């Protein structure tokens, strides 16, 4: 099938909460499952008006499970104040139209938000809302090791808290090595009677300090953007080094460090978060709500020519030349990707997934060559490259 997609059959469709449903997927051709790492996601081709769209969903299962993959999806209906707006394309298609027995098109697991399986450090998983999905897969991975782990989760209330039983089983089987802590912002009377949450309000400094003995943890977090900003700020205040904090955005990928350093201003939620996610700002402390709509970017140097002419790029002596902006930079492996190098140089190329899926970061390569550390889902035409998932091979000149 074109573009690396295979057909998978929905072996089971299981409601997990009022708004979240799991889909158990088996290869329709009877072939093997994909190899995957805990934390990775699948890409689905979703039928839509005007052609298919791609949507990514984290694996929520134990990736060692031999019979199926599982994704767990929150239905993103139109906002309550948006009568004229459409429902979310992918999640509502899955919830409303894909039933057990249906076949869907799926591309192989990808993503760098993965459990560091080579480490024996204790792990803290911080989940907000449906952001629990990749972390639950990691929790399954951790259950098969001797590592200590804390699964700290924030939900509005029990009605939207998915997969609590599965987490409790992992905790019970771990002999005290794995602990879970659940915080409801607004528990109902039924929640208070059920006693399945341990705190009310937000995951804040007091909650983490009471839970976590002093240690050298690895932190993994996923949830609404304001939730992650609040958690990142807290962890950095605790002195956790940046390289011990891994995170995944369910919206447009961006830098949490830059968001966390942005001073709080007007009380509003990041507009980049899908509206349904932005509505969950209350999962975290109100101080985190003031996230700007756009990442601060250093302005391009107005002294630089807007466009270089043929041959001019030789004047720019970096390994990587951004010809249109008249900037250049030395390549370092620590930069990660050409996109990140461009951002460090103060440029703001277009991007969305930062994972080789959407082709938003596609640009012309004027000179030189690149190598991909993540294969593009749809390779760009000759003479163009995806900068979010590539590094230079020697000197390159890009039309940026």
Ligand X SMILES: Cc1cc2nc3c(=O)[nH]c(=O)nc-3n(C[C@H](O)[C@H](O)[C@H](O)COP(=O)(O)OP(=O)(O)OC[C@H]3O[C@@H](n4cnc5c(N)ncnc54)[C@H](O)[C@@H]3O)c2cc1C
Report how far residue 278's alpha carbon sits from residue 269's, in angstroms, rounded to the nearest whole number.
6
Contact status: 163 vs ligand FES (CB under 6 A): no
Report how far residue 26's alpha carbon sits from residue 305's, in angstroms, rounded to the nearest whole number.
55
Q: Which stretch binds ligand X (CB under 6 A): 202-210, 269-277, 324-332, 365-373?
A: 269-277
Member of 250, 282, 322, 351 binding ligand X (CB under 6 A): 250
The continuous run of DSSP H or E covering 95 comes out as: helix 89-97
Contact status: 166 vs ligand X (CB under 6 A): no
Quote the crossing angle between the two packed helices 132-143 and 164-173, to the nearest 10°.
20
Site for ligand FES in 345-364 (CB under 6 A): 351-354, 356-361
Member of 3, 15, 47, 82 binding ligand X (CB under 6 A): 82
Contact status: 17 vs ligand X (CB under 6 A): no
Burial of 382 (0-12, 13-18, 19+ CB in 10 A): exposed
Site for ligand X in 285-314 (CB under 6 A): none
Site for ligand FES in 1-20 (CB under 6 A): none
Q: Which stretch binds ligand X (CB under 6 A): 84-92, 283-291, 301-309, 359-367?
A: 84-92
Contact status: 338 vs ligand FES (CB under 6 A): no
- Residue 4: which residues within 8 A CB-CB, separation 6 or more? 107, 108, 375, 377
End-to-end CA distance of the chain: 33
Q: By the 8 A CB rule, do 72 and 21 touch?
A: yes
Member of 13, 78, 236, 378 binding ligand X (CB under 6 A): 78
Residue/partner pairs of 317-320 with CB below 8 Å, 24 or more apart: 319/392, 319/394, 319/395, 319/396, 320/392, 320/395, 320/396, 320/398
If the CB atoms of residues 131 and 326 are measured against ligand X, the closer one turns out to be: 131
Contact status: 133 vs ligand X (CB under 6 A): yes
Site map 87..116 versus ligand X, x via CB under 6 A: xxxxxx------------------x-----
Contact status: 58 vs ligand X (CB under 6 A): yes
Q: Which of 95, 74, 222 is nearest to 160 (CA)?
A: 74
Report how far residue 368's alpha carbon sits from residue 393's, in angstroms, rounded to the nearest whole number.
7
**How far apart are CB 151 and ligand X at their closest, in Å?**
16
* Length of the chain in terms of residues written: 400
Binding site for ligand FES (CB under 6 A): 351-354, 356-361, 386, 388
Binding site for ligand X (CB under 6 A): 41, 55-58, 71-74, 76, 78-79, 82, 85-92, 111, 130, 133, 248, 250, 274-276
């Amino acid at each position: 099938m074109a573009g690396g997609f295979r057909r998978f059959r929905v072996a089971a469709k299981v409601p997990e909460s009022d708004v979240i449903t799991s889909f158990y997927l088996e290869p329709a051709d009877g072939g093997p499952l994909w190899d995957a790492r805990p934390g990775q996601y699948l890409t689905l081709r979703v039928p839509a008006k005007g052609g298919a769209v791609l949507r990514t969903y984290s694996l929520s299962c134990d990736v060692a499970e031999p019979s199926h993959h599982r994704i767990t999806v929150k239905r993103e209906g139109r906002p309550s104040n948006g009568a004229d707006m459409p429902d979310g394309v992918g999640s509502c298609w899955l919830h409303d139209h894909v039933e057990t027995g249906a076949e869907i098109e799926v591309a192989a697991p990808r993503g760098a938000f993965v459990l560091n399986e080579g480490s024996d450090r204790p792990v803290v998983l911080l989940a907000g809302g449906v952001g629990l999905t990749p972390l639950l897969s990691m929790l399954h991975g951790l259950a098969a090791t001797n590592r200590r782990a804390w699964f700290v989760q924030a939900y509005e209330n029990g009605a939207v808290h998915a997969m609590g039983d599965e987490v409790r089983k992992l905790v019970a089987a771990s002999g005290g090595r794995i602990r879970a802590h659940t915080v409801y912002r607004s528990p109902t009377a039924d929640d208070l009677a059920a006693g399945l949450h341990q705190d009310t309000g937000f995951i804040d400094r007091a909650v983490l300090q009471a839970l976590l003995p002093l240690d050298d943890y690895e932190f993994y977090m996923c949830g609404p953007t304001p939730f992650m900003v609040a958690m990142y700020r807290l962890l950095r205040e605790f002195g956790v080094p940046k390289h011990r904090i891994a995170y995944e955005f369910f919206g447009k990928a961006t830098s949490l460090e830059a968001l966390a350093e942005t001073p709080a201003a007007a009380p509003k939620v990041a507009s980049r978060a899908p509206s349904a996610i932005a509505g969950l700002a209350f999962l975290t402390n109100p101080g985190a709500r003031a996230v700007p709509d756009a990442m601060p970017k250093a302005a391009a140097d107005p002294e630089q020519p807007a466009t270089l002419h043929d041959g001019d790029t030789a004047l720019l002596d970096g390994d990587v030349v951004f010809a249109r902006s008249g900037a250049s930079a030395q390549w370092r492996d620590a930069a990660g990707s050409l996109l990140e190098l461009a951002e460090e140089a103060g440029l703001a190329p277009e991007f969305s997934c930062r994972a080789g899926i959407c082709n938003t970061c596609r640009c012309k390569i004027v000179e030189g060559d690149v190598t991909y550390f993540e294969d593009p889902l749809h390779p760009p035409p000759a003479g163009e490259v995806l900068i979010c998932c590539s590094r230079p091979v020697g000197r390159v000149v890009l039309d940026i």
